[in-house]
Amino acid sequence: MRTEPARNAAMIFSTDASGRFVYLSGEWSEITGQDRSAALGLGWLDRVPETDRATIQDVFSRAAAAVSEFSLRFRLHCADGSVRWLGAGGLPSFGPPDSTFLGYLGSMIEMTPSATDGMQAYGHVGRYLPPPTHHATAPQDHLDRIADHLIIAHSLIEGDGAKSALPGLRAALFEVGRAIARRSTETPNAYN
């Protein structure tokens, strides 16, 4: 028996430097009905309406070229047949040697229908603006939850001027991203 997909679930993702997804949290499959392995790379775009794909690809391309954070708003085809609006964004991840750009660690969350009336897909490069969160939207996985909190903390620090905390926070994001990547390569089907 299939249950209705979770509403408002936060989904954590990780990309490589070219913007191809290398990790998606288990909530992705629950919400979209798409197998996690099929969603990796650019497969996740199959669940996005064609009219929104160019916006997503443009923002990812510009963000990767600038090695900058980004925000997106786009629609998603869900397993229950509905189309829902998501707020998404990512922060660049850097690693050794020489602070090499590795890709993005980010999150996606469903937006409330009242906030999306008349909206078209759009995005920004240069700042990650997460949609408002609610306790019911927390990812179920422990590492995904840590990543979500760190991403939100990063956006808050960027906004209020406590930028001296960013290097430590970015180091924490890198370590959590490594743990997620390590886990997903050790148990690739754990979230299907």
146-174 confidence digits (pLDDT tens): 777 777 777 777 666 677 787 888 888 88
pLDDT at 1 over 80: no
Residue whose C-alpha is closest to residue 13's, from 156, 148, 136? 148
115-151 confidence digits (pLDDT tens): 667 789 999 999 877 665 544 455 567 777 777 777 7
Q: Which of 1-10, 70-79, 177-186 tops mean pLDDT?
A: 70-79
How far is Cα 95 from Cα 90, in angstroms, rounded to an integer? Answer: 16
Higher pLDDT, 8 or 155: 155
Q: Return the domain boundaries, the chain.
A: 11-186
Q: Per the structure block, which two tokens stand in for 14? A: 């990780």
CATH number of the domain at 11-186, please? 3.30.450.20
How far is Cα 155 from Cα 31, in angstroms, rounded to an integer? Answer: 25
User: What are the E-state strand segments in 28-111?
Assistant: 70-77, 83-95, 100-110
How far is Cα 11 from Cα 137, in angstroms, rounded to an integer? Answer: 9
What does the pLDDT read at residue 97? 76
Q: Per the structure block, which two tokens stand in for 43? A: 């497969």
Higher pLDDT, 139 or 111: 111
**φ and ψ at 145, to 5 degrees?**
-65, -40
pTM: 0.70
